[in-house]
Amino acid sequence: MQTYLETCQPRLEAQLCTFASEPTLQSAVARAALAETPGGKRYKHQHRIKRVVLQAILRLLLEIDLSRMRSFYELHTAIDQASGSVRGVGELLVYDTALRIGAKLGKMPDRV
């Protein structure tokens, strides 16, 4: 646990800050759905997901008014439901996408 707090948590917080500082919710949703770093590259742990899958998620998420979500749970549920019809979407992708968008919206999980 201590190793995580010392090495991984600062990296995650820095990553989430990049989403929080996106100029618009739409730009944060686009980067989150496409699993892109600020430099436009794919996050390493999601590099095997086909681009067509990520683009399908992006299209679906842009149809939802995510700004209305009152909690991380609501946000995660909406993303999970929206992406449920897309083959190739797993739990980790849904969670990561919700976490990144949640950073922009100020909706973070209170438990994992």
* pLDDT at residue number 12: 83
The model scores a pTM over 0.95: no
Helix (H) / strand (E) element for 16: namely: helix 9-20
* pLDDT at residue number 1: 52
Query: What is the per-residue pLDDT across 6-45, written as a single tens digit (0 to 9) for each?
Result: 666 778 898 899 999 999 999 999 999 999 999 999 999 8
- b/e per residue, 30-41, with b = 16+ CB within 10 A? ebbbbbbeeeee
